[in-house]
A and B are shown apart, each in its own frame.
Chain A
Amino acid sequence: MKIRFVALIVVLAIGLSACRSGSTSKKYFVAFSQCNNAEPYRAAQNQLMEKLFKEKGDVQLVIADGQQDNSKQIAQIETFIRQKPDLLIVAPNERTPLTDVMGRAIAAGIPVICLERDITQENYTTFIGADNLAIGKMAGQFMVDSLTHKFGKPRGKIVEMRGLLGVEAEMERYNGAHDVLKATPQIQVVHEAVADWLQDNARARMLEILRAQPEIDMVYGHNDPMGAGAYLAARELGREKQMQFIGVDGLGGTAGGIKKVMDGVLAATFYYPLCVDKAVEVGERILHDPAFHPDKKYTLQPKLITPENAGEMYGKLTF
């Protein structure tokens, strides 16, 4: 038994010392607390951030994955605070739960960049976000234009695939579109399904909707995977040519929404900024210039992606 214990100590000690990051050169230590690596949008953020900081060459970046769990993300930020990074970037899992711990980071003298999702109090050095309401409005306008083009006047039937209810992005993408659609009563939303951002859920919901609705002209997915899931369902029933599918996010890469526009699955997607390029730019200035005071808030604008500009955007957003 003693031998087992000794073996255990040796193995663990070696393992842990091997895990410790080796280089201790004069690099800045940047900690990034990501809320959930499993989401494609978040994975793209991580990739872009790693790439951009690597290009700068003077930063050691560490990314922690909160696994969509507030308690986990809070614990990870608490640990980061102990490590006293030169810069802390947080993509909060949810607004209220993360507010307090980010305040503690500020209190510990760590500059904090709040990424993409706002928190309840201004416990950050700067907030870099994008405008979901603007995306919703853009999507609404695209649907009105496209249906007007199809029928010669603004009319038609829309199905909506909604994300997780109660999430701000979901509400704003919904409200923005409906703000625009209000003006055209001949355009009806005939069904709103909740598919929790997931492609497989959207496919299942859409199969049911297709059985119930003989006429559908447009499907608005609150993200690209849900748009694609609805497309798969329509194709299964041979009805994909009767309607258009649009999505939101416009990620690059083979699995992203831009590729789906290029492939003719989606008629359009709306690029929701990753916010990372701005964060790296502002972050670098915070690291190098103690006198620099960033704005309290930067809002980045979305962009419509159609087959015309999809190729160009694909090149820009694929890392």
Chain B
Amino acid sequence: MMQLSPKLAKAQTGSAQSAGSEVSARPIRKRLQNIFGLFLVVVIALIASPHSPRGDLIFLEAGNITDVLRQVSEIGIISLGMTFVILTGGIDLSVGTVLALASSLVALVLTRAPLGMSSAMIVAAALFISVAAATLTGFTNGYIIARLRIQPFIVTLAMMIGVRGLARWLTSNTNIDIGFGMDAASVFARSFSTKTIVIGSYVLVAIALAAVLSKTVFGRYVRAVGDNEKAARYAGLPISRTKTLVYTMTGLLAGYAGVLHAAQNHQGNPNSGVAYELDAIAAVVIGGTSLMGGSGSISGTVVGTLIIGVLTNILRLNNVDSNVEMMIKATIILVAVWVQRAGKDAT
């Protein structure tokens, strides 16, 4: 008979298990390791930060720290969804183009809304339509992957291509600029590009999803499916539903990131978001989530995102050539995963 893994056994027993046992199952050591990685990068940032004319560390200026947080928020939000997808053993390559679709749609609705609607209504409609469309692409991904049993790489690759085409078609392949006046579009851009909204969104979504992953039955199903799908199937877990939900959620998050993208860039751009999926995957992997599925955490992904953000910031503050920056990032990805492996070997 098939042997059930501990995660699966736990998923089976469902929410009856207390939250306390969850913590003991996930070694504290592993959590510390994530935090330690971030700590390490911050220490390096402090050593390497240039000084302002007054002698302070530029890195530590409140403005700079919040710059970094805002800059990582879009990829950060996407990578949270990506964590769930990768935990199920899947991948989602379509998030970058879904972001572009949502950013185009939100700008389209904002700038082409019929006269007579109030600003609040226009903004609400734009938000709803763009996020709903993104969610629908995610649902489609999940449905095809779960029901038709086509590999996630292929399904989301197709979605990535198709959605890029859709975004370009909807906008006639032009950017839709949002102005700086008092109309609904301008009000939207002003309010959704503030650091409070952008960073606040990222923090709230991260906390909510960390809770979903560690405290709910759904979170356990996600891990169980990725850990051993066959066993999960025999154990009668709702695999299709879990997968569909995970991809739907990722579409929704990519859509919301697209809304923030449009606000911050004052523009809906059907060609934006190129290679964002790879940045998101990198953040997840640096955060210690295995591409094989089953093991990983939201806190790890957040740390992974912050490591990339802080490192980019410190390299730029030191005026490191952007080509060198890419080479250093490549090294960081490999080293980070190597260190995580070292942690696993030791346990």
Contacts and interface: CB of A to CB of B under 8 A. Distances in A.
Interface of A: 1, 4-5, 8-9, 12-13, 15-17, 19-21, 37, 62, 64-65, 67, 69-71, 74-76, 78-79, 82-84, 94-97, 99-100, 120-121, 165-166
Chain B interface mostly:
helix
Given A19-B320, A83-B317, A99 B47 contact: no
B114 interface: no
Contacts of A1: 339, 342-343, 346
Given A20-B48, A166-B173, 19 more contacts: A4-B338, A13-B47, A15-B328, A20-B50, A62-B319, A64-B316, A64-B322, A70-B272, A71-B71, A74-B265, A78-B67, A83-B317, A97-B266, A97-B269, A99-B266, A100-B180, A100-B266, A120-B177, A166-B175
Interface stretch (B10-18, B56-64, B147-155): B56-64
Given A5-B40, A71-B265, A99 B180 contact: yes
Contact of B43 (A9, A21, A121): A9
Interface of B: 36, 40, 43-44, 47-48, 50, 52-53, 58, 61, 63-64, 67, 71, 74, 172-175, 177-180, 193, 261, 264-267, 269, 272, 274, 312-320, 322-324, 328, 335, 338-339, 342-343, 346
Contacts of A99: 180, 266
A183 B174 CA distance: 30
A69 B274 contact: yes
A17 B47 contact: yes
A16 B177 contact: no
A82 B317 contact: yes
Contacts of B74: 71
A72 to B, nearest CB: 9
A9 B335 CA distance: 11
Contacts of B193: 100
Contact of B177 (A9, A13, A96): A96
A70 B71 contact: no
A120 B174 contact: no
Nearest to B315: A19
B48 A16 contact: yes
A17 B45 CA distance: 10
B291 to A, nearest CB: 21
Contact of A120 (B52, B179, B316): B179
Given A20-B50, A71-B74, A96-B178, A79 B317 contact: yes
A94 B267 contact: yes
A182 B316 CA distance: 50
Given A8-B40, A17-B48, A96 B267 contact: yes
Contacts of A17: 47-48
Contacts of B178: 96
A147 B82 CA distance: 59
Contacts of B314: 16
Contacts of A65: 322-323
A61 to B, nearest CB: 10
Nearest to B171: A166
B180 A84 contact: no
B266 A8 contact: no
A185 B74 CA distance: 52
A99 B181 CA distance: 13
A258 to B, nearest CB: 27
Contact of A70 (B64, B265, B339): B265
14 contacts: A1-B342, A4-B338, A5-B339, A13-B44, A16-B48, A16-B314, A16-B315, A71-B264, A84-B52, A96-B178, A96-B265, A97-B266, A99-B180, A165-B174
A79 B52 contact: no
Contacts of B328: 15
A79 B339 contact: no
Nearest to A100: B266
A70 B174 contact: no
Given A4-B342, A82-B58, A9 B40 contact: yes
Contacts of A95: 177
B44 A16 contact: yes
B59 to A, nearest CB: 9
Nearest to A19: B320
Nearest to A65: B322
Given A9-B43, A17-B47, A120-B179, A79 B173 contact: no
Given A19-B320, A19-B324, A4 B67 contact: no
A99 B274 CA distance: 22
Given A19-B324, A62-B319, A82 B267 contact: no
